[in-house]
A and B are shown apart, each in its own frame.
Chain A
Amino acid sequence: MQEVSAISGNSVPADEPKLNYINNGHTLKSWLLTKDHKRIALMYLVSVSAFFLMGGIYAGFIRLELLTPASDLLETATYNKVFTQHGILMVFFFLIPAIPAILGNFLLPLMIGAKDLALPRINLLSLYIYWIGGIITLWALMQGGVDTGWTFYTPYSTTFSNSYVMAVGIGVFINGFSSILTGLNFIVSIHTMRAPGMTWFRLPLFVWAHYATSLVMILGTPVVAITILLVAIERFARIGIFDPAIGGDPILFQHLFWFYSHPAVYIMILPGMGVISEVIAGFSRKRIFGYEFVAFSSIAIAVFGFLVWGHHMFVSGQSIFAGLVFSFLSMVVAVPSAIKTFNWTATMYKGSISYDTPMLYAIGFLGLFLIGGLTGLFLGSVGLTVHLTDTYFVVAHFHYVMVGGQVIAYLAGIHYWWPKMTGRMYSEFWGKISAMLIFVGFNLTFFPQFILGYMGMPRRYASYPEELQVLNIFSTAGASVLGFGLVMPVVYLIHSLFYGKKAADNPWMHPGLEWRTSSPPPTENFKEMPVVTWEAYDFGEESGLDLEDARKREAVTI
């Protein structure tokens, strides 16, 4: 710690504690009524982590139940609730807000050189809406929960399910507006709050990814909101448009639901892709390969993502023709993701790569996302999917994208920007260990599920034939490793808050604007309005980085 402050004495004065966004006001009110995007991001971090923990506990119960072929740990009805609640908490309260509301909120204004998001009060409102939606959902879960699956399929959810569908629906409905407001804020901010010289094509790809995400949030979320509202009304009023007994149409629900929920998987992966672009370019110390392609592939994903929802309904009786069109479009939407993957790999080629913790996560992401994406093509082809629909193959596929993709990217991002967010360095050693444990544990958990699914094990059942037990034991064993790996960062990151080395303003020596203010940043983000004169990911002298200083620092910190 002394060494660091000795070298970077100009940026981190040891004597007087600088006023930053964390120590600028200590009262509870100064947090709850803050308009500072960084404080809101931190409160999101705590709340989202709490939901992640709960969702994770449910996941643990699922894996424990599936350790043996019989349904012995949980009753089947309880099991239905457990996997439903795992899905609802993870999707709506963790995956969707995780990167945008935490990292996006914190970093977007810093990256574009703004004092705050354009609409700070709306930003705070989105947090409160998230809390209200979350509390209603939690209340419903404590009352007895839901058993419909996170997809709320009708007519089971509207007519037959004997659980708290309405309350959970209302919670999810309300929560949707938190994500709408976040997206709205990002779009406005990216349009109007960029610092002088920060042109569209100098924006970090993280910002482009968030722009695309915000488009989906604004255009998709309201559709699922109204749909879930209709389900809630239908349950409450005992009349509605999804009940086939009176001429309603349960398939209409699936159309409306997936019109949002397919694009929503891009809400859950695009921000992760943004993080990966930053980390890979940064730790390869190389301008990202094909910047424009990566930027526009995000927009392409957001646009084409709205045209492929029918691939969730290949077996629900939609016409063969519709099936073929949706299948074709699903192949098309894979192209922009492939472009990104190629470009990340090409960025690493001949880069000067350093394997810090964030980079380890990012490399893990490349492999896992590749598997997740390619198995998506299996499921997108009309013929093959008939065999695979509603099996563990699907479960494995979306966990490779959602966990292998988004959660890993989220962890990469948290580790990458932790020094900026908290002003502390975590232990590299434990960081690397946990990154590797998570990678191993994840694969051990979910790879067997591809095989299980291909062998025909259906999802959402508490019991299964005995010959499938060995692979299920692998999966549960992997889940324990994964769970352990996920708890480790919580421990060493919290530890770092109190005992970690003080972080320099730019510990990785990266050129982005967020690294050109102090760690943690002051409330107004920059002492004076930054003027951008360099291109994005410019690791050369023109970016104004002192490379000599960078080398010296590397010698000390490693």
Chain B
Amino acid sequence: MTAHGDTHEHHEPGLQHQFEDMHQQEESVSIGMWAFLAQEIMFFGGLFTAYLVFRWRFPMAFAAGSNHLDEFMGGLNTLVLIVSSLTMALTVYYAQKGNRTLQVVMIVLTMLFGATFLGVKAIEYTDKYNHGLVPVTGWNKKVKEDVSAPHVTEQDCTQVGHGDGDDHYVNPKGEFQWKDCSLVKLAQDHNYLTEDEKIGYFTNGEIDANKFRDKVRLFYYIYFVMTGLHALHMIIGLGVMLWLLWKAWIGTFGPKYYAPVEISGLYWHFVDIVWIFLFPLLYLLGRHFLH
């Protein structure tokens, strides 16, 4: 129960008209932020559900797709975000202490880490674009066929190894490309295939490269939607930090008023935590099938 004082004649800095005192205001914005984060969990929850359903159905396709993500880049980004969470937490700490300089420094650092994350993500996306791993037709780099090059005979897809065929890569329409179904063969030999996979990868009992490609494409679709929405949240987070930087610069926050820093921090940590779930699910699960 919130205790209301008498109506204040003198307004505390940052106290909005609908509130009686700072305590009530802080409690309100903090509950509001938590409710918003609950909403965010359900929002991403729909995507995680979709991921789980299809991972359950087509584990080999997901493992294959997963293997083509750069775990070094993903790991680096995880590290970057964890450190940014630290600097964010320090921002809140210095705001409470009223230390303007260190507050500003920490905000700048947090933003730097956030930007680094997005930069690394951009490099990864570009790599996918160059290798025909964007699931949308026409959104990959278009590579014309080189007529002078020696003609390469179509290989059986189970024979295509990791990294093969880079020197004669052709993709005139910018389509999603996936040639390697060695994992299906492996799983078939070891009797790993799920019921859905036995239907989903095969035509007349033969491994069907196109059908397998479509399942890997599903993985990349989910990968791009999940990381894309996450990146969008990062961009919004950077916008919030910019606003915070300005507010901190003019010395708004101190021991009495730091709620905006605190709830921005909550948001930032939330976006980090989403990544903490995305990284193992997308980059790590299933890697052992090849290594």
* Given known A-B contacts A184-B36, A191-B31, A252-B53, A239 and B4 have beta carbons under 8 A apart: no
Are the C-beta atoms of A195 and B50 separated by less than 8 Å?
no
* Assembled-state Cα–Cα distance A119/B17 (Å): 11
Asked whether B246 is an interface residue with its Cβ less than 8 Å from the other chain, the reply is no
A237 touches B18 (CB 8 A): no
A120 within 8 A of B: yes
User: What sequence of 0s and 1s flags, for each residue 105-124 of chain A, a beta carbon within 8 Å of any chain B beta carbon?
Assistant: 00000000011111110100
**Pairwise interchain contact B136-A238, C-beta atoms closer than 8 A:** yes
Q: B126-150 vs A: 1/0 string, CB under 8 Å? A: 0000000001110000000000000
**Which residues 187-212 of B sit at the A interface, judged by CB distance below 8 A?**
196, 200, 211
CB pair B1 A194 closer than 8 Å: yes
If the complex has contacts A187-B31, A222-B39, A222-B40, are A117 and B18 also in contact, measured as CB distance less than 8 A?
yes
Q: How far is the CB of A108 from chain B (nearest CB, A)?
A: 12
Task: Say whether A226 contacts B47, CB under 8 Å.
Answer: yes
Contact call B136/A237, Cβ cutoff below 8 A: yes
B43 and A226 contact, CB distance less than 8 A: yes
Residue of B nearest to A185 (CB): B32
Q: Given A194-B1, A239-B136, A120 and B46 touching (CB < 8 A)?
A: no
A529 proximity list for chain B (CB < 8 A): 4, 6-7, 20
Contact between chains at B46 and A256 (CB < 8 Å): yes
Smallest CB separation, B207 vs chain A (Å): 15
Q: Does A275 belong to the interface (CB within 8 Å)?
A: no
A209 to B50 alpha-carbon distance, docked (Å): 32
Of the residues A118, A185, A218, A239, contact of B38 by C-beta under 8 Å: A218
C-alpha spacing A233/B224, complex, angstroms: 11
Task: Chain A residues near B225: list those with CB within 8 A.
Answer: 230, 233
9-residue interface stretch from A240-248, A399-407, A450-458: A240-248
Q: How many residues of A contact B (CB 8 A)?
A: 46
Assess whether B18 is in contact with A120, with CB atoms less than 8 Å apart.
yes
Question: Whole-angstrom distance between the alpha carbons of A249 and B17 in the complex?
Answer: 51
For B31, give its contact among A180, A192, A238 (CB under 8 Å): A192
Q: How far is the CA of A431 from the CA of B39 in the complex (A)?
A: 41
Q: Would B222 and A184 count as touching, CB distance under 8 A? A: no
For residue A348, CB closer than 8 A to chain B, the reply is: no
Chain B residues in 8 Å Cβ range of A233: 225
Assess whether B136 is in contact with A241, with CB atoms less than 8 Å apart. no
CA distance A192 to B211 in the complex (A): 56
Contacts of A218 in B (CB 8 A): 35, 38-39, 42
* A33 CB, min distance to chain B CBs, angstroms: 14
Question: Is the C-beta of B214 less than 8 angstroms from some C-beta in chain A?
Answer: yes
Which B-chain residue is minimally distant from A180 (CB atoms)? B39
Chain B CB within 8 A of A219 CB = yes
- Contact assessment for B50 and A241 in the assembled complex, using a CB-CB cutoff below 8 Å: yes
Please pick, from B28, B45, B50, B58, the residue contacting A252 in the complex, using a CB distance under 8 A. B50
B-chain residues with CB within 8 Å of residue A249 when the two chains form the complex: 53-54
Q: How many residues of B contact A (CB 8 A)?
A: 48
Q: Which among A122, A225, A237 has the highest number of chain B CB atoms within 10 Å?
A: A237
B28 touches A118 (CB 8 A): yes
Chain A residue with Cβ nearest B199: A247
Q: Which of A181-227 contact B (CB under 8 A)?
A: 183-185, 187-189, 191-196, 199, 218-223, 225-227
- Residues of chain A within 8 A (CB-CB) of B39 are 180, 184, 218-219, 221-222
A-B interface contact total, Cβ < 8 Å: 122
User: Is residue A528 within 8 Å, beta carbon to beta carbon, of the partner chain?
Assistant: yes
> Is B250's CB within 8 Å of the partner chain A?
no
B217 within 8 A of A: yes
Please determine whether B45 and A241 come into contact, CB atoms closer than 8 angstroms: no
A residues less than 8 Å from B217 (CB atoms):
239, 246
Confirm or deny: B152 has a beta carbon within 8 angstroms of a beta carbon on chain A. Answer: no
Give the docked Cα–Cα distance between A223 and B17 (Å). Answer: 34
B264 at the interface (CB under 8 A from A): no
- Docked-complex contact B221 and A240, CB < 8 angstroms: yes
Contact of B28 with A220 in the complex, beta carbons under 8 Å: no
Residues of chain B with a CB closer than 8 A to A247's CB? 54, 57-58, 196, 200, 211, 214-215, 218
A282 and B65 CA atoms in complex are apart in Å by 63
B24 within 8 A of A: yes
- The answer for the CA separation of A246 and B216 in the assembled complex, in Å, is 10
With contact pairs A191-B31, A218-B38 given, residues A225 and B53 touching in the complex (Cβ less than 8 Å):
no
In the bound complex, what is the Cα–Cα distance between A185 and B29 (angstroms)? 10
Say yes or no: A241 contacts B54, CB within 8 Å. yes
Q: Given the complex of chains A and B, what is the CA–CA distance between A345 and B257 in angstroms?
A: 51
Cα–Cα, bound, A226→B214 (Å): 22
B222–A225 CB distance below 8 A: no
Shortest A186–chain B CB gap in Å is: 10
Besides the contacts A218-B38, A219-B39, A256-B50, what 16 more A-B pairs have beta carbons closer than 8 Å?
A122-B32, A183-B35, A192-B24, A193-B28, A195-B4, A220-B42, A221-B42, A222-B45, A226-B43, A226-B47, A227-B46, A239-B135, A239-B136, A239-B137, A241-B221, A249-B54
Residue contacts A-B, CB under 8 angstroms, 13 given: A192-B27, A221-B39, A221-B42, A222-B39, A223-B43, A226-B47, A237-B221, A241-B218, A241-B222, A246-B218, A247-B57, A247-B214, A529-B20
Which A positions have Cβ atoms within 8 angstroms of B?
114-120, 122, 180, 183-185, 187-189, 191-196, 199, 218-223, 225-227, 230, 233, 237-241, 246-249, 252, 256, 528-529
Closest 5 pairs (CB-CB, A-B): A222-B43, A116-B18, A226-B46, A246-B214, A118-B28
